[in-house]
Amino acid sequence: MTDTSNPLLADWHGPFALPPFAEIEDAHFAPAFEAALAEGRAEIAAIAEDPVPADFANTIAALELAGQRLDRVAAVFFNLSGSDSNPEREALARDLAPKLSAYMSEITNNRTLFARIEALWAVRDRLGLSPEQARVLMLYRRSFLRAGAALEGADRDRLTEIKARLASLGTQFSQNLLADERDWAMDLAEADLEGLPDWLVASARDAGAARGRPGPVITLNRSLVVPFLQHSPRRDLRERAFRAWATRGANGGATDNRGLAAEILALREERARLLGYDSFAAYKLEPEMAGTPAAVRDLLMRVWAPARARAEADATALEALMAADGLNGPLEPWDWRFYAERRRRSEHDFDDAAVKPYLSLDAMIAAAFETATRLFGLTFRPLDIPLYHPDARAWEVLRDGRHMAVFIGDYHARASKRSGAWCSTFRGQRALGGEVRPVVVNVCNFAKGAPTLLSWDDARTLFHEFGHALHQILSDVTHPFVAGTSVARDFVELPSQLYEHWLEVPEVLSRHARHVETGAPMPSELVEKLLALRNADQGFDTVEYIASALVDLDFHDGPAPADPMVRQAEVLAGIGLPHAIPMRHATPHFAHVFAGDGYSAGYYSYMWSEVMDADAFAAFAETGDPFDPATAARLERHILSAGGSQEAEALYLAFRGRMPGVDALLKGRGLDAAA
């Protein structure tokens, strides 16, 4: 019997059936998982052992509806673990990782259940399935096969062991990284603040107060450390901050991730070979748009050459600025951002710090919301409801009076939150078994202020993550297996990267980029400079990204390296990575790749999606209206509402009528002249 005294297991009757955050205690999670796992196992057994011959309803639809309590408990726990961790949650996450992996293996290893799926597959053309049902059947069969359902005996047992170990290693990798980020801070004396813009000084003081320090500090939060590297004239402090940022996960001791990375790569290779693939990259890329490692490498290398040429030309200009300061040594990684910022000021009369007072967090949230209103008719009503952290806030999303979703924004950095920015759900959309609308959350790490001011990069991040949120909010499918962002990994970034384009629309900036104190709009000359310089340091940005993507691909395209750090160095030397540009995510803190399988052999996907996002926004530009209703309707119908109900290429073709080439990407990054 379900323990309804545990708020995680009781029915949720509060507003919008949200989790009762105010009632949930850490002690509730372990028993809730135990009960939900037991219930899930019983539901799976009932499906597998059903004496009625398999049909779509009693097998596939039943699988779709099984394990709902487990999904609900896991959504609360893992969202809180990422955004507001503590020692109790970290310990439970380590304990849960192999247990949840074992549970999933039990399902895919269930021979009777798989036989029912195979029986349906054999007669699929005679079942009268809708296109969405046919795709869901195919995806279930494929997921079972890729999970090892067809393996026998020792091979099946070994694969189960590998998946459980990988789950544990990914959890440990993430927690080690969080610990390194949480434990490091650089105290600044008053003299160390010289040359820093006022907003950065204020953010450093806020960060110090949040950590109980007597004065301002620089932490490894990107929204704090990157501006410090841009603006601090103290080269010694820039070096200290950069080295701490660059060596996360590689400091020796209990939080060192290098050994974990080596074991993860070896286990992934073994997993792929057990399943009959030549490499983990071949296994991972098979269901993606790219399809093969060769296609990924071709895209990355076509962009690499012009990006590296641009970066080398920029490095020469920055070294000249260094020489003017009396520094005759080589340009170092902790120098690049500082001198790039100085170059922008000297050559273009542009100061990045001048932009931030016009980009308050509240204004950029309003900009993202109004853009969605104009494109898709959505409105956002603030909600005064208990959430999991005081920094989080919520809105009801409506259209024509109809409830579409609850959207939660959790924007401020804190020591308990893992780094980066992401979109997740507490509940996904589905129509199967009754209409269920989603509860979506965007999590960011903006340096807190009074008010919080964003950099241009921060504002882009906010729009990016809200693009993911719209993919969930507008989802309109029957089956949860294909709802929202359940699409190919190299397609999932299309809605998010596409949405970034609206930040640059003059109408959006004129209405929302207003001075936080005076309310005056951003001066037109500042807007013009900002947009003209959008690609000013694109050589650096593209090179650091592609370097990471190529290392990720090389790690997984062939035998696993015994020492990933040696292989990383070999790859970077082989492509001629400029000395002053490190890869964006070095192996020990490459969470995209090692804190789970999500982007493993898939970090390239941001660029694959970018090939489409420039072309997709061009569809609006061609109408002369960035808010063209007909184009917005096609975007929603064929991409944002469709989830994974069709192959990604078919969805894009339905929206645009053709697939774009890499030229759109090069032009969008301002690299076409360097090609």
Measuring CA to CA, which residue among 144, 143, 162 is closest to residue 154? 162
- With a cut of 80, say whether residue 153 has pLDDT above it: yes
Task: Verify whether residue 118 is a known catalytic residue.
Answer: no
Residue 580 pLDDT more than 60? yes
Q: Which residues pair with 186 in a beta bridge?
A: 218
Q: What is the DSSP string of 93-152?
A: HHHHHHHHHHHHHHHHT-HHHHHHHHHHHHTGGGS---HHHHHHHHHHHHHHHHTTTT--
CB 501 within 8 A of CB 617: yes
Q: Please give the helix or strand (H or E) that residue 313 lies within, else none.
A: helix 293-324
- How distant is the alpha carbon of residue 331 from its chain centre? 31
> Measured in whole angstroms, how far is the alpha carbon of residue 587 from the centre of its chain?
17
Task: Give the single-character DSSP code of 599.
Answer: T
Q: Who contacts 439 (Cβ-Cβ below 8 Å, separation ≥6)?
A: 16, 18, 405, 406, 408, 425, 426, 427
**Of 446-450, 538-542, 593-597, which range is least confident?**
446-450
Both structure tokens of 599: 């982007």
pLDDT single digits (tens) 223-267: 899 999 999 999 999 999 999 999 999 999 999 999 999 999 999
Collapse the DSSP code of 516 into the 3-class scheme (helix H, G, I; strand E, B; otherwise coil) and give the result: coil
Q: What percent of the chain has pLDDT over 70?
A: 99
Give all strands (DSSP E) within 144-296, no chain letters. 185-187, 217-219
pTM of the predicted model as reported, rounded to 2 decimal places: 0.95
Residue 353: predicted pLDDT: 82
d(CA 27, CA 387): 18
- Given this model, what pLDDT does residue 674 score? 55
In total, the chain counts a number of residues equal to 675
C-alpha pair distances (Å), 578 with each of 332, 565, 583, 619: 10, 18, 10, 36
Q: Is the peptide bond before 451 cis (omega within 30 degrees of 0)?
A: yes
Position 675 pLDDT exceeds 70: no
Distances (CA, A) of 118 to 51, 135, 143, 220: 16, 14, 12, 50
Three-class DSSP labels, 600-644:
CCCCCHHHHHHHHHHHHHHHHHCCCCCCCHHHHHHHHHHHHCCCC
On whether the CB atoms of residues 549 and 301 are closer than 8 A, the answer is no
Contact residues for 121 (Cβ-Cβ < 8 A; gap 6+): 137, 138, 141
Mean pLDDT of 100-124: 97
Locate tokens 């995209």: which residue?
592
The answer to whether 362 and 451 have CB atoms below 8 angstroms apart is: yes
pLDDT of residue 663: 86
Residue 121 has what pLDDT? 98
Check residue 390 and give left, alpha or beta (phi > 0: left; psi -120 to 50: alpha): alpha
pLDDT of residue 673: 61
- CA 449, distance to chain mean position in Å, is 24
pLDDT digits (tens, 9 = 90+) for 600-609: 999 999 999 9
DSSP per-residue letters across 314-335: HHHHHHHHHHHTT--S---HHH
Is the pLDDT confidence value at 56 over 70?
yes
Write out the two tokens for 291: 């399809």
Residue of 231, 271, 227, 260 lying closest to 245 (CA atoms): 227
Question: Mean pLDDT of all residues in the chain?
Answer: 96
Contact 12, 19 (CB under 8 A): yes
Helix (H) or strand (E) holding 664: helix 662-668
pLDDT band with cut points at 50, 70 and 90 for residue 531? confident
Half-sphere exposure at residue 416, Cβ-oriented, CA atoms within 13 angstroms: 16
Average pLDDT over residues 621-628: 97
Residue 291 has pLDDT above 70, yes or no: yes
pLDDT (0 to 100) of residue 4: 78
> What pLDDT, on the 0 to 100 scale, is given for residue 283?
98
Q: 360 — phi, psi (to 5°)? A: -70, 150
The CA distances from residue 352 to 16, 243, 360, 362, in Å, are 42, 24, 14, 20
Give, as one character, the DSSP assignment of residue 54: P
pLDDT of residue 1: 56
Among the listed residues 288, 465, 500, 504, the single catalytic one is 465
Proportion of the chain in helix, strand, coil states, percent, rounded to 5: 60, 5, 30
- Taking a C-beta distance cutoff of 8 angstroms, is the pair 203, 446 a contact? no
Structural domains in the chain plus CATH codes: 15-108+110-147 (1.20.1050.40), 184-248 (no CATH), 254-350+538-603 (1.10.1370.10), 357-532+606-674 (1.10.1370.40)
The pLDDT value given to residue 354: 87
Q: Each residue of 329-342: pLDDT tens digit?
A: 899 999 999 999 99
Across residues 400-421, what is the average pLDDT? 95
